[in-house]
Amino acid sequence: MNSDCRRAMDRLELSRQERLAPHLRARLQDHLGDCPACRQEQQDTEPLDLFAGLTRGGLPAGVENYILGGLRVEEERRDDGVWSVASIWPALASLAAAAALVVVWALSGANPVAPGTDLWLEAHAMNDVVATVEDIRSPTAEILALSLPEPSGGRTEIILIVDGSMDL
């Protein structure tokens, strides 16, 4: 697929959504007229409405209670103010045991990591402490920013630099 074809295929989807300017639509039609590969691609990528209803239709039995049960535990935790730096040290120690933890330091305030990737994970730390990894801004996923709400309403950010092979 050459760059003309790639551009045509990108515009094809805009055209389907009726968001393509008339002169670009005409150009797309010209390209489709001349290019059998893109005509084939057009057929192969037609919208599929067969699966349209699959995110509607009621919650399966027990799911609502399961969700609410988890929330109740979390609400109590927030009320009890267990979110503090001290409370996650056992969890961090467990993480360290699971993989090579190179450096840990704590800071607060602005996000210290540069914008970059869109990776985003949640670390399920031990001891029932869930540390949410807000941003991973390194292409090798070596730098993890953990953000924990504090009971006071403030915010503590902890940056972990972990071994690249560590699987969270």
Number of residues that bind other proteins (CB under 8 A): 56
What's at 14, amino acid-wise? L
Name residues whose C-beta falls within 8 Å of residue 50's C-beta, 6 or more positions apart in sequence. none
165 part of the interface to other proteins, by CB under 8 A: no
Q: How far is CA 30 from the centre of its chain?
A: 39
15 part of the interface to other proteins, by CB under 8 A: yes
Give the integer Cα–Cα distance in Å for 71 and 51: 31
Q: Please, is 23 exposed, middle or buried when counting C-beta atoms within 10 Å of its C-beta (0-12, 13-18, 19+)?
A: exposed
- To the nearest whole angstrom, how small is the minimum distance from the Cβ of residue 153 to other proteins? 7
> What one-character DSSP code corresponds to residue 114?
P
Q: Are 104 and 93 in contact (CB under 8 A)?
A: no
149 part of the interface to other proteins, by CB under 8 A: yes
- To the nearest whole angstrom, how small is the minimum distance from the Cβ of residue 1 to other proteins? 11
- List 7, 20, 27, 35, residue binding Zn ion (CB under 5 A): 35
Contact positions vs other proteins (CB under 8 A): 9-10, 12-18, 25, 28-29, 32, 39, 41-64, 66-67, 69-71, 74-75, 78, 118, 120-122, 130, 132, 149, 153, 155, 167
Contact positions vs Zn ion (CB under 5 A): 5, 35, 38
